[in-house]
Chain A
Amino acid sequence: MSTATMKRPRSAAPGAAGGGRLTFAGVLRSEFIKFFSLPSTLILILSTLVVMVGIAALSVWGVGASLKAMGSDPEMAAQMGDLNELTASLPSSGLIFAQLVIGAMAVMVMSSEFATGSARSTFVATPTRQPVFWAKALMVAVVSALVALASLLAAFFVARPIAENYDLPLDFASEMSQRNLWFGVLYVVMVALIGLALGTLLRNSAGGIVVLAALFFMLPLAVDGLSMAVSWLADAARFLPDKAGTALMQVPGAAGALEPWALGLVVGAWIVLPLAAAAVLLQRRDI
């Protein structure tokens, strides 16, 4: 940059900056500007869409092909009830990967502020801090809900022609499809908000993503493995966010499952408690 372009300080008339007070709406707008100004945002949203659609198509094709290979097995007819449920869950089978992508994005919504030092600018502009956190939470909830909804819908409508090809029942209006769609969206929002809370608590992208992956991948696996030896672990496992979230997407009333209202409470707690902890610590700690 040429120093010749420098201007002498201009006489600033009172109110040269115009504008007004610090407001929540302003902070929210600021967060959206920051979020969508990063190239990684678009890349992560697009990859969620691709992963969801791709895995849905693959799994419908896989299930259809293997059923076809089994041919006219008379036992299959008796299991048609289960088949309905299975088929309805196929469009959302990409969630297991998409959750990590969106979760990681949510972690970085806060952790990148600390990693890059932009937290200093952010929290000098909003020294009350809480508006920043809740604006980010609102933005993360809305964006993850919209991305999940769009990719679940896209996955459904890509999967349906393939399912029809194999005579698999895939009805958009069925209770199971609706359940998978809306509770799938809720599930993704939960993962994203836990991600934001982890990013705020740990202030570190890698750490936050690792803990999120541990909570949703490693912990359920470990608990499943150990629960064969330790019986109460199986009961406890139902309260894991991954188990409770996916249980909502299934038909209620399965053996050993929590009641729907209890599942709702568990998911609610997994959303509210990490956010509350993160909000309190953000207020207390130095930036």
Chain B
Amino acid sequence: MLRNVEGMITAEALTKNYGTKRAVDGISFTVQPGKVTGFLGPNGAGKSTTMRMVVGLDRPSFGSVKVNGRGYAEHRAPLREVGALLEAKSVHRSRSARTHLRALAATHSIPATRVDEVIELTGLGAVASKKVGGFSLGMGQRLGIAVALLGDPQTLILDEPVNGLDPEGVLWVRNLARHQAAQGKTVFISSHLMSEMALTADHLIVIGRGRIIADAPIEHIIGGANVPTCKVKTDSAEQLMNGLAAHDVQLTRVDAQTIQVTGLDGRAIATRALELQILVHELTPVRQSLEEAYMALTQDEVEYHSHLGNELAATSTGKQGQA
């Protein structure tokens, strides 16, 4: 699977600083073709910044991100490699939708027939000659998707594509994403709505505070049989987290006495606690919904910044605390 980079987005230690604020903190991930990869995280988690770095609008402070094996700007026909919807209404207000598409098509000598095709495809036919300034948010999103589809790219990057769409529009975006993936294309969609991702994505990359919290097939994140999750209550939470820390174990500090352990079953946790002579006073297997998993994952990010500090960051997931 890894021998071919065709259709893959690969980020390595990708980092972006804005002044002293670190928006994206050394993330590494791979987006595979043939499936929909959801990029999930709360607002301000670094999703948009990451996507902007993929298409070269923002320069990484450190690390790199490649599309099909090279930097986006190094491709000879970038629009045919990646189609991106970054923010709705990336258009001059006084221009019509059709002119906007024609101008972008001209850069790659894409014929006018393709402009008409994407207008039809996104249902903009009735408003294509109207000024974009009068568009609703939903129509702006459709135009953004039309732009993304213009070069018939191998890879689609859609940043919050369902924002402002009516239910039918949401369904349409979902079908579009699934359809493109079924054709072997790479689809990378960001959202802060877990329910939407649950319906659309095959794979999830969850990001919080600029770091990847989870990167797994969606059924693993929801909590399938092969990834047991337990809620553990103990007075020595930090000690236990130290003792449990390992590669395939994910530890989430819920509160001072509670941790959530993903990757170990109750017996394994209890055995380890016994070895360490730690008293555990609650050990509950958890079957999470995606929403719960997401809340737990992102809450962790907020949690340890507010009162747990750096020593926990170093022990739990190996991530460095930030200033």
Does the CB pair B121–A19 fall under 8 Å?
Answer: no
Residue of B96, B110, B123 near A19 (CB, 8 A) is: B110
Q: Which of B51-59, B276-284, B301-309 contacts A (4 or more CB under 8 A)?
A: B51-59
Q: Considering the chains assembled together, what is the distance between the CA atoms of A33 and B172 in angstroms? A: 31
Q: Identify B91's interface contact among A14, A121, A126, CB under 8 A.
A: A121
Q: Are B121 and A7 in contact (CB under 8 A)?
A: yes
Given A17-B152, A116-B93, A6:B55 Cβ within 8 A:
no
User: Contact at A16–B114, with CB atoms within 8 Å?
Assistant: yes
Q: How many residues of B contact A (CB 8 A)?
A: 64
A62 at interface, CB cutoff 8 A: no
User: Is the beta-carbon distance between B103 and A5 smaller than 8 angstroms?
Assistant: no
CA distance A257 to B73 in the complex (A): 48
The residue in chain A whose Cβ has the minimal distance to the Cβ of B124 is A1
Q: How does the 8 Å CB contact mask read for B251-263 relative to A, with 1 for contact and 0 for none?
A: 0000000000000
B237 within 8 A of A: no
Question: Per a CB cutoff under 8 Å, which of B108, B111, B113, B117 touches A125?
Answer: B108
The answer to whether residues A7 and B110 also contact, given A30-B104, A287-B58 and a CB cut-off of 8 A, is no
* B127 CB contact (under 8 Å) in A1, A7, A23, A125: A1
- Give complex CA distance A126, B84 in Å: 13
Cβ of B271 within 8 Å of any chain A Cβ, yes or no, is: no
User: Shortest distance in angstroms between A34's beta carbon and chain B's nearest beta carbon?
Assistant: 5
Q: Chain A, 260-284, contact with B by CB distance < 8 Å: what is the 0/1 string?
A: 0000000000000000000000001
Q: How far is the CB of A155 from chain B (nearest CB, A)?
A: 30
Contact B79 A125 (CB under 8 A): yes
Encode B169-182 as 1/0 by CB contact (under 8 A) with A.
10010011001100
Q: Is the CB of B90 within 8 A of A9?
A: no
With an 8 A cutoff between CB atoms, is A225 at the interface? no
Question: Does residue A3 face the partner (Cβ distance < 8 Å to B)?
Answer: yes
Least CB distance, A233 to chain B, in whole angstroms: 39
Q: Which of B94, B96, B108 contacts A21 (CB 8 A)?
A: B108
Is B102 a contact partner of A33 (Cβ separation < 8 A)?
A: yes
Q: Does A5 contact B123, Cβ atoms closer than 8 Å?
A: yes
B139 contacts the other chain (CB 8 A): yes
Q: Which residues between 210 and 260 of chain B lie within 8 Å of chain A, taking CB atoms?
A: none
B47 CB, nearest partner CB in chain A, Å: 15
Stretch of A37-45, A86-94, A167-175 lying at the B interface:
A37-45
Given contact pairs A8-B175, A22-B107, A33-B106, A118 touches B100 in the complex (Cβ within 8 A): yes
- Take A19-B109, A30-B104, A33-B106 as given contacts and tell me if A120 and B86 are in contact as well, using a CB distance cutoff of 8 Å: yes
B53 nearest CB neighbor, chain A only: A286
Q: B293: CB under 8 A from chain A?
A: no
Segment 111-125 of A: residues with Cβ below 8 Å from B = 112-113, 116-125
Q: Could you tell me if A127 and B108 are in contact, using CB atoms closer than 8 angstroms?
A: no
| With A6-B172, A16-B152, A37-B96 as contacts: A117 and B106 at CB distance below 8 Å | no
How far, in whole Å, are A286 and B86 apart by their CA atoms in the complex? Answer: 14
Q: Is B150 an interface residue (CB 8 A)?
A: yes
CA distance A272 to B34 in the complex (A): 49
B108 touches A26 (CB 8 A): yes
Alpha-carbon distance A286/B121, docked complex (angstroms) = 32
Q: Which residues of B contact A1 (CB under 8 A)?
A: 123-124, 126-127, 136, 138-139
Nearest-Cβ distance from residue B19 to partner chain A, whole angstroms = 12
| A-facing residues in B50-96 (Cβ within 8 Å) | 52, 55-59, 72-73, 76-80, 82, 84, 86-87, 89-96
Assembly CA distance A121 to B103 (angstroms): 10
Contact B107 A30 (CB under 8 A): yes
Assuming the A-B contacts A17-B151, A118-B91, A121-B100, are A286 and B58 also in contact, with contact meaning beta carbons closer than 8 angstroms in the complex? yes
* Contacts A1-B139, A20-B109, A286-B57; A127 near B78 (Cβ below 8 A): yes
Minimal beta-carbon separation of A50 from chain B (angstroms) = 22
* CB-based nearest B residue for A118: B92
CB contacts (< 8 Å) of A20 on chain B: these are: 77, 108-109
- Across chains A and B, which 10 residue pairs bring their CB atoms closest together, nearest first? A127-B73, A19-B110, A17-B152, A6-B123, A120-B90, A127-B56, A30-B106, A287-B57, A33-B103, A286-B58
Given A17-B151, A19-B110, A34-B95; 7 other pairs, CB 8 A cutoff:
A1-B139, A12-B183, A18-B110, A34-B103, A121-B104, A124-B57, A127-B73
